[in-house]
Amino acid sequence: MTVLEAEIAAYTAANPKSKKLHERAAAFMPGGDTRNSIFWNPFPVYVTHADGVQLTDADGNVRTDFVNNMTTLIMGHRHPDVVKALHDQVDHGVSYPAPSPPVIRWAEILCERVPSVEKVRFVNSGTEATLNAIRAARAFTGKTLIAKCEGAYHGNHDAIQISVTPPLKDAGEAEHPDPVVMFPGINPAAADDIVIMPYNNPEAAERVVRSHAKDLAAVIVEPINGQCGMVPAKPEFLQLLRDLTSELEIPLIFDEVISFRAAAGGAQEWYGITPDLTCFGKVIGGGMPVGAFGGKDEIMSMWDPNYGTEQVQHAGTFNGNPMTAAAGVATLDLLTPEVYEELERKGDRLRQMIRDLISELEVPMGVTGATSLFALQFTTENVTDYRSFATNDKEMNQTVFTGLLNEGFLMSSRCAGNVSAVHTDDDLDAFVDALRRVLVRTGYA
Ligand SMILES: Cc1ncc(COP(=O)(O)O)c(C=O)c1O
């Protein structure tokens, strides 16, 4: 039995009810799954309750949650202010065929905190946020081509499901990667409308952007790349993209669906670099389904219903729904400068403790991340982009992930995590102790 098989056997033995639920789910949903990012083999745990930093599953196992619904729950599960805001809104109705006051407050907060966002529109997912931001840029410029980074995930729509995790054999040269359509069903023509930049390589990205400048409707970038393990952009890389797109008059889109948790004004405040359009999701909805996109008035005004014949249409039954607005406003109100400082302190501390553990145990691993975001890397390469990320040992990743589940800790299946405002230093210490036990038990140390 391999160490992975041993961890999976222990996991299966400890989670019989989740296993049964998964078998039932598989009768009605393909693979028992309706969201690939929370599926893992042999079956995921089924959560029945969450509170603060803790998740309880169907078997009664309690785990410390370092996923927070993929970085969403920055105040942890069931924060009393968020719960109260939702209860109050339920008492007034859950959705209306008309706008409601909480949405105005929500928009005000975002525009106040993010100076580059003069106007904002709400949607129901980060996917819709990037879809609409790209559409805004295309409508504004009258062009079609988009530049994105290799290894960046910007949501599940055709225009951008390109070169997210491309097999290296299909991905071309590191300095000017080929666009790779991620899976069957994506319109293959989407690859003709996109060019791929290597992340964190300013010179190579400049060459890609300059050589396509006259056709580019937008450059889109995630200031902290989630897909490759919460890898922060080098400031000079982001600055290059800003300077270059300003010079060439190409709208620059920041996908802040994850990185908005870096500071009150998002990663753009953290870096001091401002885009023309910003995509939001996750934390701004307080745990409810959400997305938003916003930016310069001259671009966003194309969405004004009175704009005229060039107006961009934007329907959506649940856009700006009052439940999400209520949870979003309650969450954003809790996010004071002190909370951000503390999130960053805990993130820095956790990454340092993991780094110390890795060097003490001499395991072939690394840790990446910034602010409250972190990820384990199962490679000795310094992970700064997709090609270095692709050197990860996938089996070791799965073994450690499953081992941590067995120890009572949840990370994403790619071993990425994040700290919420309610994680304590004791939670961080306990995580590092558990990681030590897993690395020793599996023989990696
Ligand atoms: C950077 C980034 N953009 C967009 C999305 C899509 O957001 P959603 O899952 O809400 O559609 C995600 C989701 O993880 C993301 O990480």
pLDDT on residue 57: 98
Does the beta carbon of 290 lie inside 6 Å of ligand 1?
no
* 36 Cβ neighbours under 8 A, 6+ residues apart: none
- Report helix, strand or coil for 60: coil
Does the beta carbon of 402 lie inside 6 Å of ligand 1?
no
Q: Please identify every residue annotated as catalytic.
A: 153, 255, 282
pLDDT on residue 257: 98
The radius of gyration computed from the CA coordinates of the chain, to the nearest angstrom, equals: 22
Question: Residue 41 region, left (φ>0) first, then alpha (ψ -120 to 50), else beta?
Answer: beta
Residue 112: pLDDT over 90: yes
Tens-place pLDDT, residues 315-359: 999 999 999 999 999 999 999 999 999 999 999 999 999 999 999
- Rounded-to-integer distance, Cα 83 and Cα 209, Å: 46
Domains and CATH numbers, the chain: 3-74+336-441 (3.90.1150.10), 80-334 (3.40.640.10)
% of the chain surpassing 90 pLDDT? 99
Residue 100 corresponds to which tokens in the numbers above?
Answer: 């409601």
Residue 19: pLDDT over 90: yes
Residue with the smallest CA separation from ligand 1 atom 9 is 126
- Report helix, strand or coil for 74: coil
pLDDT on residue 310: 86
Name the residue of 282, 318, 324, 412 to mutate for ligand 1: max ligand atoms within 8 A of Cβ: 282
Residue 430 corresponds to which tokens in the numbers above?
Answer: 């306990």
Parallel/antiparallel/unpaired status of strands 252-255 and 277-281: parallel
Does the beta carbon of 148 lie inside 6 Å of ligand 1?
no
- Three-class HEC string of 379-424: CCCCCCCHHHHCCCCHHHHHHHHHHHHHHCEECCCCCEEECCCCCC
Among residues 227, 302, 234, 301, which one has the least CA distance to residue 257?
227
Residue 309: pLDDT over 90: no
Query: How far does the centroid of ligand 1 lie from the alpha carbon of residue 128, in Å?
Result: 9
* Mean pLDDT of the residues in the chain: 97
Query: How far does the centroid of ligand 1 lie from the alpha carbon of residue 387, in Å?
Result: 21
% of the chain surpassing 70 pLDDT? 100
Q: Mean pLDDT over residues 208-226, rounded?
A: 98
pTM of the model: 0.98
Residue 256 Cα: closest atom of ligand 1 = 1
Query: How far does the centroid of ligand 1 lie from the alpha carbon of residue 127, in Å?
Result: 6
Residue with the smallest CA separation from ligand 1 atom 3 is 154
Cα 432 off chain centre by: 23
- Report helix, strand or coil for 75: coil
pLDDT on residue 30: 96
Among residues 391, 380, 374, which one has the least CA distance to residue 435?
374
